[in-house]
Amino acid sequence: MKRSLVIQGFFYYNKAMKSGSLFVISGPSGTGKGTICKHLIRRIDAELSVSMTTRIPRAEEVEGVSYFFVTDADFDKEISEGGLLEYANVYGNRYGTPKAPVCAHLKNGKDVILEIDIQGALQVKQNFPEGIFIFILPPSIEELRQRIRGRGSETDASIALRLSEARKEIEFIREYDYYVINDVLEDAVANVEAITRAVKARVDAESLTILEQYR
């Protein structure tokens, strides 16, 4: 049976082409998800989803590339119109994944990467369990502390909050398919890349369409 794709009321049945895979890269704040995804996207043929956020842009960030920066009212409107695949409040700011581009890419056979927090990943898992869920771990809580401090954007109180949240969040690793420890960045990127390539090489009902060309 061909795989069907159901995302919050959207239904696609792709006869002609293998649908894309949805890779969800998630983990506590400061583990290096963003850094890994920035490198990963240069090494694999996939689309990195651009999230919507109510956070103020940082100096280097570009509208529509880093995020879609919106007001609280816009964010509420997007939720009420069913435009978000998932959304969460992460340390006081709201973040969500626009549904339409993700659905369109998957339908067209393109792989999509979501770099999102754990609350969001769990929502995606409920709506789209066929996704591939990858948990990024820091080498240790102490190294996580150093990384968050090194990023220079958090106060001591905010660092303490993120570390206590991280300890709780790590328990959710059980819900994921794979984990990668982000110790040496290059190795972590290579491991995430290896997971994506292994997933693409899985023999399943859909991939058996390749048999056609050998008959």
* Residues near ligand ADP (CB under 6 A): 29-35, 147, 150-151, 182, 185, 188
Provide the binding-site residues for ligand 5GP, judged by CB under 6 A: 29, 33, 51, 55, 86, 88, 90, 95-97, 115-117, 119-120
- Residue number, 63 or 207, with CB nearest to ligand 5GP: 63
- Residue number, 62 or 208, with CB nearest to ligand 5GP: 62
Polymer length in residues for the chain = 215
Residue 51 touches which member of ligand ADP, ligand 5GP, none, C-beta under 5-8 Å by kind: ligand 5GP
Q: How far is the CB of 2 from ligand 5GP (least distance, A)?
A: 29
Return d(Cα 12, Cα 128) in angstroms, integer: 12
Hey, is 123 helix, strand or coil?
Answer: helix
Return d(Cα 96, Cα 45) in angstroms, integer: 23
- Residue number, 151 or 168, with CB nearest to ligand ADP: 151
Return d(Cα 112, Cα 20) in angstroms, integer: 7
Q: Burial letters for 174-192: b for 16+ Cβ neighbours within 10 Å, e otherwise? A: eebebebebeeeeebbebb
Q: How far is the CB of 146 from ligand ADP (least distance, A)?
A: 8
